[in-house]
Structure 1
Amino acid sequence: MGTETRLDDLDEPAFSGLAERHRRELHVHCYRMLGSFEDAEDTVQETFLRAWRRRETFEGRSTFRAWLYRIATNACLDLLAKKRPEPASGGEVRWLQPYPDRLLDELPAGDADEPETVAVARETIELAYVVAVQHLAPRPRAALILRDVLGWPAKDVAELLGDSVNSVNSALQRARAGMREHLPAQRQDWTGGADDAGARDLVRRYTEASVATDIDGLAALLREDVRCSMPPTPGLHVGRAAVVKDWVESGFGEMTHLRAVPTSVNRQPAVAYYHRRQGEGVYLPLTIDVLRVTGGAVAEIVTFHADRFASLGLPESVPA
């Protein structure tokens, strides 16, 4: 937007046109802050509403885009104070929701120095990163994302948070320490994105074993320290024995009539499962497994319920 254009000179359709260009990257930013796809949707809408109502406060000292990020961050902090006064604990995030790769592909490519070009990197959108962020208190969380993900200068973060630069730097150090505590130890050696050939073969074998409900075959594909969760259902299972025990006790090995559709979520390989009950003519959504692969084995499985299929753009049913 040129400096000659004042926001308060624009009518609502023109203003909305400017703001909409940044919807997807703002949504991803709010998702990192909140961990919930739906809460991020609501917060982006609140951001645009606040921006329209306060358009006369835009003085052009920063870009319109940076101004929107400021509003979005504050909207996230307000929601966290109201809805989640305490951060996540215990390694699981019950409000966690997946983010479809097809929508991540909508992010603008930008130039090499554009913050979101760096922010869209796989490591800041994978579920393990989002989960770790949710264990931070809201303001250190904001400082971490603005500084380390978006690349904002400390003075700009301090202005947004109403703190001193020293306070922001202190919060950032605490946040980085918290991330090291909650991120997987092997994070620097992560392999197995959705576009990795070795991961594709592993996911194929995992899918075949799952459709066959072959628990022994699945167990052979898991790391010894595998982690498994199913938000919003409580419970984090750590270790191959604990995960297999949960599968056995849940009756998974006795299931029949499964179909699978490969997909990708949060820049990770994923498998959507459909189930056909006796007498039904189609396979209906069951669950979706999002996988993290390390060293040629499955290191983490995050399973989401059927209510996530629509937002992920998955079919409503699969023909029998």
Structure 2
Amino acid sequence: MSADTRPEELGVSDLGEMDEPAFSRLAERHRRELHVHCYRMLGSFEDAEDTVQETFLRAWRRRETFEGRSTLRAWLYRIATNACLDLLAKSRPKPATGGEVPWLQPYPDRLLDELPAGDADEPETVAVARETVELAYLVAVQHLAPRPRAALILRDVLGWPAKNVAELLGDSVNSVNSALQRARAGMREHLPAERQDWTGGDEDAATRALVRRYTDASVATDIDGLAALLREDVRCSMPPTPGLYVGRDAVVKDWVESGFERMKGLRPVLTGVNRQPAVAFYLWQQREGAYLPLTIDVLRITGGTITEIITFHDDRFPRLGLPDSLPADGTE
């Protein structure tokens, strides 16, 4: 059965005839893609989870309003988008500023793998789906006001016609097109200049080798070795901790001042986050006799150098499916 199943294909004329278990089974087929949509809108994995739950609750309560003029999938996207806009109006009336997104959270690749496969005959669509979950995109889109943000994601990521976006937002097509122009201009301001040169696709041997060098230098707390891997204009941040460091010298200075060179006893675990290479670091704790979660570094690599490092705290380990400790012998 296709992702765009209509109720009549299940032998019912409308959703109002369905009981709650049947409705839940139908809606659940769209959970992962709705979650990723809300994640793009909100930048927070946990807020996206809450919003998807709110979406399903609203959909169940309003099921009799579904008239079948669109697919169930499109109807759920409408509800999810409005739920996101409601949350943003309530808890984040202002977008991000200054290149920082304190509420940014990572999204594990293992869950992104649950998304419906892209059409192999449309590589551009597959590339868009991939690039628009990378952290640089998430950071940029969080700098947009909520309604232009919604217009951008619906038009440029999901490919909705302007008429449908206007109907959802309660605006005219001209207003939507104007908002979209402003949103695209805002994205150009905040996206990396070399966006078209992002690694993209599966990691090649050179990328894997660079990640290994970064990992080895980190375990050795070799700041000079790490500095050699960074591009001159590298960016480094650690949400929700305030602070954005731009430039190799500024990043290295922060590492030195934070006492990174004295941090011995690290053990790495390679993983994938937001379709980018990532390294989870564990730190040896004598009292527990084990390596315990420390931080996760998510890397953006361009042209053979590291152009951005976004570090997340140890509270993200469970969401990413990482072990809660590593034993002394290194086995899990």
Could you tell me how far 1:62 is from its partner in structure 2? 0.4
Could you tell me how far 1:190 is from its partner in structure 2? 1.2
What TM-score, normalized by structure 2, do the two folds share? 0.93
In structure 2, how many angstroms separate the alpha carbons of the residues matched to 1:224 and 1:141?
31
Relative to structure 2, which stretch is displaced further, 129-138 or 119-128? 119-128
Relative to structure 2, which stretch is displaced further, 278-287 or 23-32? 278-287
Structure 2 residue aligned with 1:211, among 198, 219, 230?
219
**Residues 1:184 and 1:2: Cα distance change in structure 2 (over 3 Å):** closer
Q: What is the letter of the counterpart of residue 87 of structure 1?
A: P
Per-residue CA deviations over 1:244-291 (Å, capped at 9, x if unaligned) read 000001011111111000001000000000001234311000000000
Partner of 2:34: 26
**Residues 1:134 and 1:41: Cα distance change in structure 2 (over 3 Å):** same
The alignment of Structure 1 onto Structure 2 pairs a total of residues equal to 319
In structure 1, how many angstroms separate the alpha carbons of the residues matched to 2:15 and 2:160?
23
Could you tell me how far 1:317 is from its partner in structure 2? 0.5
Q: CA RMSD in A?
A: 1.6
Partner of 2:152: 144
TM alignment of 1:144-293, pairs within 5 A: 144-191=152-199, 195-293=203-301
In structure 1, how many angstroms separate the alpha carbons of the residues matched to 2:118 and 2:207?
29
Per-residue CA deviations over 1:67-108 (Å, capped at 9, x if unaligned) read 000000000000000010000000010000000000000011
Per-residue CA deviations over 1:143-173 (Å, capped at 9, x if unaligned) read 0000000000000000000000000000000
What TM-score, normalized by structure 1, do the two folds share? 0.97
Does the aligned pair in 1 maintain the 2:6–2:72 contact within 8 Å? no
**Residues 1:273 and 1:201: Cα distance change in structure 2 (over 3 Å):** same
Partner of 2:139: 131
**Residues 1:282 and 1:3: Cα distance change in structure 2 (over 3 Å):** closer
SS of aligned partner of 1:303: strand
Could you tell me how far 1:212 is from its partner in structure 2? 0.5
Unaligned runs of 5+ in 2: none
**Residues 1:286 and 1:193: Cα distance change in structure 2 (over 3 Å):** farther
Partner of 1:61: 69
Does the aligned pair in 1 maintain the 2:234–2:246 contact within 8 Å? yes
Partner of 1:87: 95
**Residues 1:113 and 1:52: Cα distance change in structure 2 (over 3 Å):** farther
SS of aligned partner of 1:121: helix
Partner of 2:23: 15
Partner of 2:318: 310
Partner of 1:106: 114
Unaligned runs of 5+ in 1: none
TM alignment of 1:32-47, pairs within 5 A: 32-47=40-55
Q: What is the letter of the counterpart of residue 65 of structure 1?
A: R
In structure 2, how many angstroms separate the alpha carbons of the residues matched to 1:112 and 1:162?
35
In structure 1, how many angstroms separate the alpha carbons of the residues matched to 2:120 and 2:40?
21
Q: What is the letter of the counterpart of residue 305 of structure 1?
A: H
Q: What is the letter of the counterpart of residue 250 of structure 2?
A: A
In structure 2, how many angstroms separate the alpha carbons of the residues matched to 1:119 and 1:40?
22
